[in-house]
Amino acid sequence: MSTAQLIDGKAIAQAIHSETAARVAALKTKGITPGITFVRVGEDPASQAYVRMKGKKALELGIKSDTIVLPEATTEAELLALLEKLNADKSVHGILVQAPLPKHISETKVFSTVLPSKDVDGFHPVNVGKLLLGEEGGFKPCTPAGVHELLIRSKIPVEGAHVVILGRGNIVGKPMAAILVQKAKHANATITVLHSRSRDIAEHCRRADILIAAMGQTEFVKADMVKPGATVIDVGVNRVTDANDPRGYRLVGDIDFKAVCEVAAHVTPNPGGVGPMTIAMLMANTATAAEAAA
Amino acid sequence: MSTAQLIDGKAIAQAIHSETAARVAALKTKGITPGITFVRVGEDPASQAYVRMKGKKALELGIKSDTIVLPEATTEAELLALLEKLNADKSVHGILVQAPLPKHISETKVFSTVLPSKDVDGFHPVNVGKLLLGEEGGFKPCTPAGVHELLIRSKIPVEGAHVVILGRGNIVGKPMAAILVQKAKHANATITVLHSRSRDIAEHCRRADILIAAMGQTEFVKADMVKPGATVIDVGVNRVTDANDPRGYRLVGDIDFKAVCEVAAHVTPNPGGVGPMTIAMLMANTATAAEAAA
């Protein structure tokens, strides 16, 4: 039985990081040091880990990074005031407010307060609008932009392909569809978006040339939902209790990896697939923000 | 052979107009007269007719309407300056710049200069972004919003249905997909978007519970592309030369109407289907803009 070729997200992310490091170096010769500020509210351990990881990578690439940690009890008004200050600060090219935020703070308000030109996360409505309209000059959300780069750099044909996306979240599913449906090079895909209310999900999945699983359900995509020869991208990160793991859990994707590898032609491992790409696109976006401000 | 039931766009638009007129009357009792300003550049006969028709309808509903006509040679800067003036004018609740604009003026710039709160056409990136994100408080583009109302008021089940959209334009196809994919009442559809670069178009169409044709190709959808019992929405408006017509042409939709009626369960006539809905949603949006400013 054949086994799928793995899409090496780590290597592709590394290639993008090298490009970003070169762009950062070029900016520095002009006296500009790209800067990103992370804002974290409360003490969610996963958020702490994410921000730490992103800050470390920024440093490696020569990007100046600051992390501002606010207490859980911070009011929405206080957070918005901080963002206005960062918006006005010329040394800050990118601002990332780490989700999730405490329930008393509106993520919608927060994301739309960050200046679109500093919204390296790509969550501001103006950037989302530009994305859907196919306009240049906006930032694309990092995870779907990362998946797109994975496909392009792995030479998976996207144009004319039928891409089936499982999940319609604002972070992955919907912007992913918006990226791939455009009349543009490396896009031009036929798009189907499935979600919790969809019928005949397995049947739809089996028609996909490229299947992107981003609904956050442990090993949802089984081998019999995959067309032989398809490309399967696993965006999911799900916690499964595991007494043998020192953390008490392990992370599992949205696809039944081993079984899917027997049917698909190209599969992303998880971890090591989409994950590293998200941070690669964040760093690339930060360089872009600094270049635009130069 | 069975014949499809026709979806009466005229009657549904009329019902919406009655609701809008009541909202306008209610605003007037508070001393507010909703106002819309149309801006037209050059002498395109179709644009003239559209703006005239919209202005007439506004008047009927008690909405104050102004039309500003600029010469073809107007510069982009002049048009943008006019829009800034209208943005600042409190008596103007809605601003509609009639497309197409002369080639030396960027529609992208123009549409993003209109204040989002006055963008009753729903083309500003902020409004498009809110639409895709599923955020409240934005304006939806009138034609896809009108198609959505047609489906709702005709009691065509949308939730869980497979909706196939032919066309990925910024005016209909993409925002239509964005409306129907949301996790929301009367939405929750499985969405497939097809376009000029799609393969197996007929096969995809035959799977649709609801087929929305918006690609601007005369009678593209044939009977054998329609699943028996499906709903077919014809958004297309195409000119076909016709010596017998006093205008020298007649308007034809994107579907082979007669033949499709033999297969589908519900079909929009054209004219008299989607067309009247676009203007109904424009008027409703103008009332909404005035209510929000009240």
Instruction: Convert the pLDDT of each residue in B130-177 to its tens digit.
Output: 999 999 999 999 999 999 999 999 999 999 999 999 999 999 999 999
What is d(CA B267, CA B254) in angstroms, rounded to the nearest whole number? 12
What is d(CA B178, CA B198) in angstroms, rounded to the nearest whole number? 19
pLDDT interval class at A294 (50, 70, 90): confident
Residue range A155-174: mean pLDDT, rounded: 98
> Looking at the predicted structure, is the pLDDT value of residue B1 above 60?
no
Residue range B117-125: mean pLDDT, rounded: 98
Which residues have CB under 8 Å from B77's CB, separation 6+? none
How far apart, in Å, are the Cα atoms of B261 and each of B4, B100, B147, B266? 5, 33, 18, 8
Based on the residue annotation, tell me whether A57 is a catalytic residue of this protein.
no
| Closest CA–CA distance from residue B19 to any residue of chain A (Å) | 30
pLDDT interval class at A172 (50, 70, 90): very high
Same fold, B30-115 and B141-275: yes
| Closest CA–CA distance from residue B181 to any residue of chain A (Å) | 7
Residue range A28-57: mean pLDDT, rounded: 96
Which residues have CB under 8 Å from A18's CB, separation 6+? none
| Closest CA–CA distance from residue B282 to any residue of chain A (Å) | 20
The pLDDT value recorded for residue A289 is 98
Q: Which of A62, A48, A135, A47 is closest to A286 using CA atoms? A: A62
Tell me which chain A residue has its CA closest to the CA of residue B197. A160
Number of A/B CB contacts below 8 angstroms equals 123
pLDDT interval class at B210 (50, 70, 90): very high
Q: Are B192 and A192 inside 8 Å of each other by CB?
A: yes
The pLDDT value recorded for residue B2 is 64
**What is the residue-averaged pLDDT of chain B?**
97
From the candidates A126, A135, A140, which should be mutated to test the interface with B, based on the most B CB atoms within 10 A?
A126
Scan for tokens 């600060």, then name that residue. A89
What is d(CA A207, CA A163) in angstroms, rounded to the nearest whole number? 9
Q: Are A177 and B175 inside 8 Å of each other by CB?
A: no
Residue range B77-97: mean pLDDT, rounded: 98
Upper half-sphere CA count for residue B6 (Cβ side, 13 Å): 12
Q: Are A160 and B192 inside 8 Å of each other by CB?
A: no
Burial of A102 (0-12, 13-18, 19+ CB in 10 A): middle
The pLDDT value recorded for residue A8 is 98
The pLDDT value recorded for residue B42 is 94
pLDDT interval class at B122 (50, 70, 90): very high
Fold of A30-121: Rossmann fold (3.40.50)
Based on the residue annotation, tell me whether A242 is a catalytic residue of this protein.
no
Q: Which of A274, A155, A152, A154 is closest to A212 using CA atoms? A: A274
Other CB atoms within 10 A of residue A15 CB: 14
Ranges A180-184, B17-21, B239-243: which has the least confidence: B239-243
The pLDDT value recorded for residue B59 is 97
Which of A174, A183, A204 minimises the CB distance to B168? A183
pLDDT tens digit sequence for A65-92: 999 999 999 999 999 999 999 999 999 9
pLDDT tens digit sequence for B23-63: 999 999 999 999 999 999 999 988 999 999 999 999 999 99
Outline where chain B has alpha helix (H). 9-29, 45-61, 76-88, 107-113, 125-133, 142-153, 173-181, 201-206, 257-261, 275-293
Give the bridge partners for A193, in sequence order: A165, B191
Give residue limits of the domains in chain B: 30-115, 141-275
Q: Are B133 and A125 inside 8 Å of each other by CB?
A: yes
Cis preceding-peptide flag for A271 (omega within 30 of 0): yes
What is d(CA B227, CA B210) in angstroms, rounded to the nearest whole number? 9
The pLDDT value recorded for residue A2 is 64
pTM of the model: 0.97
Tell me which chain B residue has its CA closest to the CA of residue A203. B207
* Options A8, A57, A119, A121, the catalytic residue: A121
> Looking at the predicted structure, is the pLDDT value of residue B218 above 90?
yes
* Options A8, A57, A98, A118, the catalytic residue: A98
A198 CB neighbours in chain B (<8 A) are 160, 162, 190
Q: Are A178 and B181 inside 8 Å of each other by CB?
A: no
**What is the residue-averaged pLDDT of chain A?**
97
Which residues have CB under 8 Å from B248's CB, separation 6+? B241, B242
What is the percent of chain A with per-residue pLDDT over 70, rounded to a whole number? 99
The pLDDT value recorded for residue B80 is 98
What is d(CA A42, CA B243) in angstroms, rounded to the nearest whole number? 72
pLDDT interval class at B119 (50, 70, 90): very high
Q: Are strands B5-6 and B64-70 parallel, antiparallel or unpaired?
A: unpaired
B197 CB neighbours in chain A (<8 A) are 159-160, 183, 188-190
User: What are the two backbone dihedrals, phi and then psi, of residue A122, each rounded to the nearest 5 degrees?
Assistant: 75, 30
Which of B129, B178, B192 minimises the CB distance to A127? B129
A205 CB neighbours in chain B (<8 A) are none
- DSSP category for residue B117: G
Burial of B251 (0-12, 13-18, 19+ CB in 10 A): middle
Ranges A122-136, B73-87, B156-170, B239-253: which has the least confidence: B239-253
> Looking at the predicted structure, is the pLDDT value of residue B257 above 80?
yes
Active site residues of B: 54, 98, 121
What is the percent of chain A with per-residue pLDDT over 90, rounded to a whole number? 98
Q: Are B160 and A191 inside 8 Å of each other by CB?
A: no
Fold of B30-115: Rossmann fold (3.40.50)
What is d(CA A65, CA A55) in angstroms, rounded to the nearest whole number? 6
Which of B125, B196, B200 minimises the CB distance to A126? B125
pLDDT tens digit sequence for A236-265: 999 999 999 998 999 999 999 999 999 999
Based on the residue annotation, tell me whether A98 is a catalytic residue of this protein.
yes
Scan for tokens 């819309």, then name that residue. B36
| Closest CA–CA distance from residue A74 to any residue of chain B (Å) | 24
Outline where chain A has alpha helix (H). 9-29, 45-61, 76-88, 107-113, 125-133, 142-153, 173-181, 201-206, 257-261, 275-293
Tell me which chain B residue has its CA closest to the CA of residue A198. B160
Q: Are B192 and A191 inside 8 Å of each other by CB?
A: yes
How far apart, in Å, are the Cα atoms of B152 and each of A88, A262, B7, B12, B186? 45, 44, 11, 10, 7
Q: Which of A259, A204, A202, A206 is closest to A228 using CA atoms? A: A206
Q: Are A134 and B199 inside 8 Å of each other by CB?
A: no
CATH number for the segment(s) A141-275: 3.40.50.720
Task: Write out A95-159 in H/E/C secondary structure.
Answer: EEECCCCCCCCCHHHHHHHCCHHHCCCCCCHHHHHHHHHCCCCCCCCHHHHHHHHHHHHCCCCCC
The pLDDT value recorded for residue B294 is 86
Which of B108, B127, B131 minimises the CB distance to A135? B108
A199 CB neighbours in chain B (<8 A) are 160, 162, 190
